[in-house]
Structure 1
Amino acid sequence: MELSLSHSSLGISAVNPHCKASSCQPKAIPSKLNGKLLDLSFKCFKNGVSVGLYSQSSCSKHVPTRQFKRNSIWACSQVGAAGSDPMLNKISTFKDACWRFLRPHTIRGTALGSVALVARALIENSNLIKWSLLLKAFSGLIALICGNGYIVGINQIYDIGIDKVNKPYLPIAAGDLSVQSAWLLVIFFAVTGLLIVGYNFGPFITSLYSLGLFLGTIYSVPPFRMKRFPIAAFLIIAMVRGFLLNFGVYYATRAALGLPFQWSAPVAFITTFVTLFALVIAITKDLPDVEGDRKFQISTLATKLGVRNIAFLGSGLLLVNYIAAVLAAIYLPQAFRRGLMIPAHIFLALCLIFQAWVLEQANYTKEAISGFYRFIWNLFYADWSQDNGAKT
C-alpha cells in the first residue's frame, strides 16, 4: 500500500495483484491527517523515496520506526472512523459514560471485600460448599455493585456544580451523560439490587441493604444532604463501606450455608480493620475537592482544618490500623499467619510514610493530593488482596 500526494488531498492506493480495479478504489483520508505524517511524506518525495504505510523504507532513517508505525496506525484508524456507524459510536460513548458514572475504583473495593469474605466463610465450612451456591454468590455481588452504583450515582446527580470544579471528567459534569439518563440508571440500580437481595437473601439482609441505600441517599439528597456535616459524612461512609458491607456479606454467606451467624477472631478483626480504613477514605476523599467545596460552601474537615492536617490525620489513623494488625498477629498466632501479616503490614506502613513525605515535598499541590488519595485506595485493595493474613 503506497501513499500518493496531490495538491488537494492525501490518498491511499493499494497495489494488490488479487484486487480488481472496479472494487479497489482509493480511499481518501481527511485533510486533518496528522501533521507529522504529512511532513514525512514531503520529506520522502523530496528524497525520491516511496513510503510504504505498513513497511519500513529508507526514509525511516529520518523518522523513528516506532513513531512512524504509530502515525501509520493513526491514519488507518481515521479511515475506519470516517466510515463507522454513528449509532455504534453513540452506543460506545454511552457505555463509556455509564462506566465512569459507576466510579470503577469503588466497584473494585466492593468486589474485593465481598469476594474475600465469601471465600473466608466457604473455606471455614468447606464441607457445606455446593455448586448451587455459586449462582447465589454471583447474584449477591451484582446486588452490591447495584447498591454501589446507586450511591455514587445519586451523589453525582446532586453534585453537578461541584463536580464541574473538582471532577470535570465525571460524565454528568462533562456533558457525556444527561441528568435524565442518570436518574434512570440510579432507579434501575436501586430496584434491581432490592429485587435480587429480597428474592435471594431474606428480610434481614434486605433490611441491611435498604439501610445502606437510605444512608447513601441522605448523604447527598436535600434537605438532608449530610455531606455538609463532616462528622456525619464520614460516619455514614464508614458505616456503609465498612461495617454494613462486611457484616452483611459474612452473615448472608453463613445463612446460605444453613449456619447461624457467629463472629470469629479473623472476621471481627477484618470488619474492624476495614471500617477504620473506610473512615480514613471518608476523611481523605475531600482532599482533592477543597477548591470546589469552598466555592459551594460545603463544609468538610479538609476545608475546616486544612489539607495538610487532614493528610496527616488520615495517615496517622492508617498507621494505627497497621500497628494493630501487627500486634494481632503477634498476640493471636492461632488466628493469623504471622509470616504474612507482620511483614506485609510493615511494608504497607513504610509505603504510606513515604507517600506522606512525597506529598509534603510536593507542597500539597492538587496533582500530588490526588495521587495521595489514589494511593490510599491502592492500600485498601492491597489489604483485601492478601485477606489481612487471617488463618482459615
Structure 2
Amino acid sequence: MNIYIVGLNQISDIEIDKVNKPYLPLASGEYSVTTGVVIVLSFAVLSFWLGWLVGSWPLFWALFISFILGTAYSINVPLLRWKRFAVVAAMCIFAVRAVIVQIAFYLHVQMHVYGRPAVLTKPVIFATAFMSFFSVVIALFKDIPDIVGDKIYGIRSFTVRLGQERVFWICISLLEMAYAVALLVGAMSSCTWSKWTTVIGHTLLGLLLWDRAKSIDFKSKASITSFYMFIWKLFYAEYLLIPLVR
C-alpha cells in the first residue's frame, strides 16, 4: 500500500519532480508513465488481496483508509489533490503515520493473531502520541527541499509560505518536545530497567538530533535532503524503544 501511495504521488507530480527530484524514475524517464501506472495499480490490488486473504478487519481497514487518504492526497481531480493545501496534507500524513499505523496494526495482532480483547496498552498510547509529533514534522519537513518546484506549480506548502529556515526550526522544536515528553514518561515508570532504558535512549536521540541540526546548510539542497532522511532514521529508531515502555 505504501508503494501505491508513493507511486501515485510520483505519477501525479512528474512535472514538479523534474524540478525538485529529477533523479526519480518517472521524472528522469527511466520508467514510462504506463510502467508507473501498471506498478501502482498492481500493488494496490495486491495489498487489498493480501488484506482480504488474511481476514483481519483491523488490517483491512488500515489498508482501505490509507488507500483513500493516499489517493486524495495526490490525484489531480476536482475536490482532491489535497497536497495543495498545507493543513489538509499534513492531516493526511498524520492520520496514516501517527494513528492508523500504530493502532490498526496493534489491533490486528491483538485481536486477529492472538484473539485477545481490544485493550490499548501504555506502549501503544505512547507510540501514537509520540509518532503524532513525528508525523507532523515529516509532513512539514518533506517540503523544505522542494520549495523551488512547489513555488512554480502553485503548491502552497508551509515552506513556501514561511520559508525554509523557519519551518526547519519549527520541526526541530517539535521533535525535541517529543523527546522531552518521552523522557517524562520514562522517568515516571515504576519499572527500573524500563525507566533507565527509555530515559537514556531518548536523551541520546534528542542530543543527536540537536547536534545534527546545528550543522545544516540551508543553501545546500543535498544537506537538507540528507537531514530529512536522518529524521526517518530517528522515526524508525523509536520503534526499538517503544516496546520497552512500561
Q: Is contact 1:335-1:390 (8 Å) kept?
A: no
1:370 aligns with 2:225: yes
Q: Is contact 2:179-2:202 (8 Å) kept?
A: yes
Show the counterpart of 1:379: 234
Q: Is contact 2:58-2:108 (8 Å) kept?
A: no
- Rate the CA distance shift 1:388–1:347 in 2: closer, same or farther, 3 A: farther
Please report how far the alpha carbon of residue 272 of structure 1 lies from its aligned counterpart in structure 2 after TM superposition: 1.5
| Alignment equivalent of 1:227, drawn from 55, 80, 83 | 83
1:302 aligns with 2:159: yes
Q: Percent identity?
A: 34
Alignment coverage as a number of residue pairs: 243
Show the counterpart of 1:34: none
Show the counterpart of 1:176: 30
Q: Alignment RMSD, CA only?
A: 1.6
Please report how far the alpha carbon of residue 258 of structure 1 lies from its aligned counterpart in structure 2 after TM superposition: 1.0
SS of aligned partner of 1:261: coil
Please report how far the alpha carbon of residue 385 of structure 1 lies from its aligned counterpart in structure 2 after TM superposition: 2.9
| Alignment equivalent of 2:102, drawn from 246, 264, 285 | 246
Please report how far the alpha carbon of residue 349 of structure 1 lies from its aligned counterpart in structure 2 after TM superposition: 1.0
Q: Distance in 1 between matches of 2:214 and 2:198?
A: 24
Q: What are structure 1's unaligned runs of at least 5 residues? A: 1-146
Please report how far the alpha carbon of residue 383 of structure 1 lies from its aligned counterpart in structure 2 after TM superposition: 1.4
- Rate the CA distance shift 1:364–1:340 in 2: closer, same or farther, 3 A: farther
Based on CA coordinates, which of the two structures has the bigger radius of gyration?
1
- Rate the CA distance shift 1:336–1:193 in 2: closer, same or farther, 3 A: farther
Structure with the larger helix share: 2
- Rate the CA distance shift 1:196–1:373 in 2: closer, same or farther, 3 A: same
Q: Distance in 2 between matches of 1:216 and 1:193?
A: 14
Q: Distance in 2 between matches of 1:178 and 1:385?
A: 39
Please report how far the alpha carbon of residue 278 of structure 1 lies from its aligned counterpart in structure 2 after TM superposition: 1.5
Please report how far the alpha carbon of residue 369 of structure 1 lies from its aligned counterpart in structure 2 after TM superposition: 1.2
TM-score, normalization: structure 1? 0.60
- Rate the CA distance shift 1:260–1:185 in 2: closer, same or farther, 3 A: same
Please report how far the alpha carbon of residue 279 of structure 1 lies from its aligned counterpart in structure 2 after TM superposition: 1.5
Q: What are structure 2's unaligned runs of at least 5 residues? A: none
Q: Distance in 2 between matches of 1:318 and 1:298?
A: 25
Show the counterpart of 1:160: 14
SS of aligned partner of 1:287: coil
Show the counterpart of 1:33: none
Q: Distance in 1 between matches of 2:128 and 2:192?
A: 15
Q: Residue deviations 1:219-251, cap 9 Å, x none?
A: 000221000000010110111122101111100
